[in-house]
Amino acid sequence: MDDFLRKCSEAIRTYNTGLAAELAEEALAKRLDPLRAIEEGFASGLEQAGKLWEEGTYFLPELIMASEAMKAAMEKLRPALEKRSLKMKQLGKVVIGTVEGDIHDIGKSLVASMLAAGGFEVVDLGADVAVDNFVSAASREEADLICMSALLT
C-alpha cells in the first residue's frame, strides 16, 4: 500500500471525518481510480476499526465514528464511482437495503457503491426496510439479486 492509500486508511481508522473527505477529494484530483481508493485505502481503515472493535480496543462509539468517516469519503467518491460504472457493461440488477428494525446503513451503502462500481445497476431501498418491500421491489425492478444488510451485535 502506498503512502497516500495508507493515509486514507488511517483517516478512517482514527475516525477523522474531515480528513477522510479531503483525502477522497485528493484521490479524485490525482485521478486515482475511486474503486482502488476505496478498496486499498478507505475500506482497509474500516476493516482495521472493525478488528479493533472485535478485540475490545474500540467500543461502539469509535466504530460508529469510523463509519461516519467512511461515509464522508464515500459521499465524495460516489459521483466518480457512478460515472465509472456507466462506462461498464451492466452485469445485472441488484435490490439492496437494510432490514426492518435496523437503521445502520454504512455497510449497505459501501456494498451498494462497490456493486455499482463493479458493473451492477443498484436499486437502494435505504434502511429499516420491511421484507415485503424487498420482495415487491425485486419483482418490480426484475432484479437478479436481493441484498439485505443487518448489523449483528
**DSSP notation for 18-72:** HHHHHHHHHHHHTT--HHHIIIIIIHHHHHHHHHHHHHTSS-HHHHHHHHHHHHH
Query: What is the reported pLDDT for 13?
Result: 95
Whether residue 111 has pLDDT greater than 80:
yes
67-70: list long-range contacts, CB under 8 Å, 24+ apart: 67/104, 67/106, 68/15, 68/17, 68/106, 69/11, 69/12, 69/15, 69/16, 69/17, 69/19, 69/20, 69/45, 70/12, 70/20, 70/42, 70/43, 70/45, 70/46, 70/106, 70/110
Indicate the pTM of the whole model.
0.72
For β-strands 145-149 and 120-124, DSSP reports them as unpaired
Query: What is the reported pLDDT for 119?
Result: 79
Query: What is the reported pLDDT for 112?
Result: 84
| Region of 92 on the Ramachandran plot (φ > 0 left; ψ -120 to 50 alpha; else beta) | left
Domains of the chain: 1-87 (1.10.1240.10), 89-153 (3.40.50.280)
Whether residue 153 has pLDDT greater than 60:
no
Query: What is the reported pLDDT for 94?
Result: 97
Taking residues 110-129, what's their average pLDDT? 85
More confident residue, 120 or 139: 139
Taking residues 99-106, what's their average pLDDT? 83
Query: What is the reported pLDDT for 85?
Result: 67
φ, ψ for residue 17, nearest 5 deg? -60, -45
Question: How high does pLDDT run on average in the chain?
Answer: 89
